[in-house]
Amino acid sequence: MVKYIYQYENWPNFSWDEEEIQVLLGKVRHLQGKLFGQINALGFSLKEETMLSSLTLDVLKSSEIEGEILNYEQVRSSIARKLGLEYAGMVHADRYVDGVVEMMLDATQNYLRPLDDERLFGWHAALFPTGRSGMYKIETACYRSGEMQVVSGPIGKEIVHYQAPSPERVQHEMNVFLHWLNHDTKWDLVIKSAIAHFWFIIIHPFDDGNGRIARAISDLILARSENSFQRFYSLSNQILQERKVYYEILQRVQSSDGNITEWLVWFLNCLYRAIENTDETVKKVLRKAEFWDNHKETVLNSRQRLMLNKLFDGFDGKLKTSKWAKITKCSPDTALRDIKDLIDKGILRQEESGGRSTNYELNGL
């Protein structure tokens, strides 16, 4: 029979290889400082744009880890609206997207506020505004009252990957966890972010949404570690890319006797790669700023400006005349005239792939 980490007498006194972890932590802390130095060299509007891109990525990818695909435009618009950043072409976000965004922004923007049961219940209610997870009714805004297993496989042949603490233990476990999270000052906050993520997953206090809330808690403590509400990298995006290893390591370490070295090593390396990959986000923002600077005298109509911004921000799929017409609410003929005008100005080009339908892309990217 499998023995889980919370069933050992020393739970929750975690241990790890201090020497190995300190080396990795030093690398992460150095890169954090370097990133903030680079970002602070950007102008105010570019910093805002980078933050909006990073937060959008974080919300999208944290949901995608759980198999939920959110609408990019809705997420971006919801974040921008809540941060007071207006831009052309904002769309209405449904209440589910708004809820996910509210949770993430509360974690990162109000990072100094203590985390307690009520705040967690608010996050949980925001994640499940209908009280359902897919087709199933779940307990929302409260800790679970039933047993919790992480399983996979078809009905009748399920494989149990993890059995969480019994429901009558959950409140006590959360009391211990939240007291540690709010009051323990012994650990470096990056290490604390990694431990909190793992510890919360072990308790699995909710009927659903535990992964997303664990990642929000990580983001909250990382914001504390940087003493900044401004987010310029996405840990969730990196976890998504390494999802298979993420689950494998969680599964291995959840059966350990309290030594979580393997989890901390993976988390710190994953965080390092997440910060490293921010270079790409910053480059995109700079490319967009440079483009508009070069074209400040170019005559463009509002439809063209809207679509060009969408192409820079991360356009979904291929750009076709029909998509242009639908998004800008114009006729296909008008859309084609808009596109041909941009080709004449050297801004767009026809994709070389050809085929039955013609696709367009930004020139020089």
C-alpha–C-alpha distance, residues 353 and 33, integer Å: 43
Structure tokens at 326: 């639908």
Residue 104 has pLDDT above 60, yes or no: yes
Q: Is the pLDDT of residue 99 over 80?
A: yes
Distance CA 293, CA 297 (A): 9
At 365, is the pLDDT very low, low, confident or very high (cuts 50, 70, 90)? Answer: low
Portion of the chain with pLDDT greater than 70, in percent = 98
Percentage of the chain beyond pLDDT 90 is 66
The residue among 122, 103, 119, 259 whose CA lies nearest residue 195 is: 259
Distance CA 311, CA 89 (A): 12
Domains of the chain: residue spans and CATH:
5-280 (1.10.3290.10), 298-362 (1.10.10.10)
What is the average pLDDT across 341-355?
84
pLDDT for residue 356: 61
Phi, psi of 221 (to 5 degrees): -75, -30
What whole-number distance in Å separates Cα of residue 165 and Cα of residue 176?
Answer: 14
Please give the pLDDT value at position 355: 57
Q: What is the pLDDT of residues 151-205, one digit of tens each?
A: 888 888 888 889 999 999 999 999 999 999 999 888 899 999 999 999 999 999 9
pTM (global) more than 0.75: yes
Angle between helices 44-65 and 278-294 (to 10 degrees): 130
Distance CA 280, CA 234 (A): 12
Q: What is the pLDDT of residue 311?
A: 87
3 state SS of 362 = strand
Nearest Cα to Cα of residue 28 among 139, 192, 172: 192
Tokens standing for residue 147: 């047993």
- Give the pLDDT of residue 248: 95
Question: Which tokens sit at 269?
Answer: 């390396």
Q: Angle 189-203/210-226 helices, nearest 10 degrees?
A: 170
> What is the model's pLDDT at position 278?
83
